[in-house]
Each structure stands twice: as structure tokens, then as C-alpha cells.
Amino acid sequence: MSSVLAVLIFAAVGFGNPAWAYEEITVTDGGSITGTVTLKGQVPKPKGYNLTTLPDQFYCGRISDGQGWRILQPFQVGPAGEFRDVVVYLEGIEKGKPFGEKTVPQIEAKDCLFMPFTTVVRDDQTVTVINMDPVMHDLQAYETSKLGARVLFNVPLPMNPQHPRNFKDHSDAGLYHKHMAGPPMKQLVNLSKGRRIFVMQCGFHAYMESWGLAIRNPYFAKTDEQGRFTMTNVPPGTYKLVVWHPYIRTTTEQTITIGPQGSMQANIAVPAPTGRLYANEVMDHGYTRYNVSEEVKKEIDPIIEKQHH
């Protein structure tokens, strides 16, 4: 938990400006912005979690490295540096198109993962979290603050009562595949003044993370598999185009100008962070922190995904 909270504090950099009220209007001469985001440099190493030290090792271990470890890679990068699942947004727009439908963002706990890894929300908006797994999860959410991280909410995430609760043996737990939605848990995201970032983590399974960014206007996008993004109906003007990823501590931005009914291309290269980003970074040498017996390794079977470091 400490590494996540430390990242929260660093992530606050660049997000301290006070918010203003956004005015929804009809935009008649809006333009469009398309572009790509790439990560320049070496992709940071992932995190590693020893499954034998955490609950539900056999069910959750269906996604693992075959050696008793769950790998979490926060950086999704394609072979040509395509930076996937990062948020791109505009700052400096005081009025423009309405926000989209008032749908509540939904996050699912599935196969001991929180999906999606990044979520965009409006401040003072609720998020819905649903447990699809046959194991209990515990939802803990934190936001940045000047004194460190502040708890937003901490609630149990119950599973669907139709899931079996007592498996016959370890293989039963590992081979059980059904996903059924548990009771939806709706929680209000009410951030402190000027704060825009929060993280959700499972109190039982530390490798379950989901990060959120609170936006001030509807001009945002998440990059796709090719690192591409699109924004439409942008009012003419000059704005800051900002790229956000929870584990990059420096702000990547550029100034853009869009004319009436204009279009522009913005290709952004984000420098890859260097150094050790988290305490439990996967090391080049073999794991030595915990001793995982060969017998236990055989029982933790990565039947959904065999991960690579």
C-alpha cells in the first residue's frame, strides 16, 4: 500500500489550480483534434506480488507467471511505443459542448483485476464498482492531499451469492470460471479542493489497482491500442493539451490553437520515467524475498494468462 500512497503524493504535482465553473453551450464552429501518444524510452518494469502471501492464491493465480507471482504492469505500450490507455485532456476551456450522457462510470473486479485501470470521472460524481469474482474484495479509495493521501471510502465488495463459497479443494478454486455480478456498490467521488486524482485498491489483493482522474470539462479522451485519440466540437481558441498517466510524475503538455471548424494533429512523445518507481518492482534476478515451494507453484496454475516479466 505504501508505494501506491507515495505515488498519489507525487501525482498531485500540476493539479493544484482551483477549478472554475464550466458552462455548457451550443458550439456552432467547433473544430477537432486527433493525435497519437507514444512513450519514448525504456518501458518501466512491472510490479511483482507473491501470491502465497495474499488470499485466494489459487483463484487469483490463474493470471500469474507460473512461479507463484502476479505481475502488474501499469504501462501498456505497443511495439512501436504506442502509449495505450492514457488520458489526454484540454485545459483552459471555460465553456463548450455539454458533458456526455449522465452515465455513472463502472469498474469491474474480474479475475482479481480492477478494470479499467484508468477511469475519467466528474468531481462529485458517483462510480459503480461490481465484483464479478467468486471471492470477496475490499474497496479502498484514496485521493491526493497536501498532507498525503486522504481516504475517500472503504467498503466491502461482496460477491454474487450464487457463487460457491466452499470449494472442494484448491483445483476447484482454480478451475472455477463463472463471472456473476455481485451487488453494485455506488460510491461518491468528492475530492478536496484542487485535487483531481484518486486510486482504488483492494484491501485483500494488493495487485488490484484502478486510478481515476476528475475532469473539469468534457474535452478528454483515452488512447486506443494504437495510442490514438480524438476530440471533437472544440471551441476555437488556444488551450493546453495534457497527457496523464498515474505513474508519470512530470506533466507532459503542449499549447495548441484550434480555429473555427478547424482540425489539427497533435503527436505527443512522453519521456519514459527512469529509476525505481515502486518498492515491489520486478527485479532482473530471480525472486528471493519469499520462498515459494515447487508444490505450491504447481497448484498456482496460470490457466487464463501466463504472465511475463
CA end-to-end distance (rounded Å), the chain: 21
Cis peptide before 74 (omega within 30 of 0): no
The pLDDT score that the predictor gives to residue 11 is 54
pLDDT at 146 over 50: yes
Contact at 8 Å (CB) between 114 and 200?
A: yes
Residue 185 — φ and ψ, nearest 5°?
Answer: -105, 110
Higher pLDDT, 296 or 222: 222
> What pairing do the DSSP bridges indicate for beta strands 83-84 and 76-77?
antiparallel
DSSP β-bridge partners for residue 88: 221, 243
Grid cell at residue 50: 507473491
Q: Hey, what's the cell of 137?
A: 474484495
pLDDT of residue 9: 43
pLDDT averaged over every residue in the chain: 86
Cα within 13 Å of Cα(65), Cβ side:
20
Residue 20's pLDDT band, with cuts at 50, 70 and 90, is low
Can you give the pLDDT at residue 14?
47
Query: Can you tell me the mean pLDDT for 72-94?
Result: 95
Query: What pLDDT is stored for residue 114 in this prediction?
Result: 95
pLDDT computed for residue 292 by the predictor: 63
| Rounded CA separation 29/47 (Å) | 46
Distance CA 205, CA 180 (A): 19
pLDDT digits (tens, 9 = 90+) for 153-175: 899 999 999 998 777 766 777 78
For residue 225, pLDDT over 80 is answered with yes
Q: How far apart, in whole angstroms, are the C-alpha atoms of residue 214 and residue 205?
A: 25
Average pLDDT over residues 292-305: 77
For 18, the 3-state DSSP assignment is coil
How far apart are the C-alpha atoms of 238 and 257, rounded to whole Å?
A: 4
What pTM was estimated for this model as a whole?
A: 0.86
pLDDT at 102 over 70: no
Q: Is the pLDDT of residue 13 over 50?
A: no
Instruction: Give the whole-number percent of the chain exceeding pLDDT 90.
Output: 58
Task: List CB contacts of 253: < 8 A, sequence separation 6 or more.
Answer: 91, 240, 241, 242, 243
